[in-house]
């Protein structure tokens, strides 16, 4: 089976305005954001929709409007896929790194249009 889309993230300019819009649209997003400015909702399809202003991961000048996340389960798979894609000449945005507060392992690569594709795994896999 091919790679499955795990999350679809939007990087809003005003997270509060976006929360209001997507709640009115009908997405069941939590009322209160705690911790980092990230809020998400798991859809019945299994895909998680999230809003995040990416303050710590992506500088404001570089922020895309859309981020696709693919969960690869294991750190080694994140490392291998990042190496494979950069080996094909795609621009790596950020080499694999740990995000201790959320216990995740990420790598970021730009697609041909400059959107960030986030490869993820559990930090301790």
At 12-54, the pLDDT tens digits run: 777 788 888 788 877 888 876 665 678 889 988 899 998 887 6
Give the total residue count for the chain. Answer: 125
At 43-100, the pLDDT tens digits run: 888 999 988 876 666 777 776 678 889 999 899 999 999 999 999 999 999 999 999 8
Report the topology of domain 7-122. Answer: 2,3-Dihydroxybiphenyl 1,2-Dioxygenase; domain 1 (3.10.180)
Structure tokens at 82: 């990042």
Report the relative pairing of strands 38-42 and 92-99 from DSSP bridges. unpaired
- Nearest 5°: the CA angle 112, 90, 62 is 60
Cα separations in angstroms, 2 against 5, 30, 54, 69, 106: 10, 31, 28, 14, 20
């Amino acid at each position: 089976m091919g790679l499955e889309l795990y999350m679809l993230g939007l990087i809003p300019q005003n997270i509060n305005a976006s929360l209001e819009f997507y709640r009115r649209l009908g997405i069941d997003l939590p009322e209160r954001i705690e911790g980092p400015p990230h809020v998400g909702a798991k859809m019945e399809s299994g895909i998680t929709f999230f809003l995040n202003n990416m303050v710590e991961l992506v500088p404001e000048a570089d922020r895309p409007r859309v981020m696709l996340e693919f969960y690869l389960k294991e750190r080694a798979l994140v490392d291998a896929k990042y190496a494979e894609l950069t080996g094909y000449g795609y621009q790596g945005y950020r080499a694999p790194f740990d995000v201790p507060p959320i216990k995740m392992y990420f790598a970021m690569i730009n697609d041909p249009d400059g959107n960030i594709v986030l490869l993820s795994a559990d930090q301790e896999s």
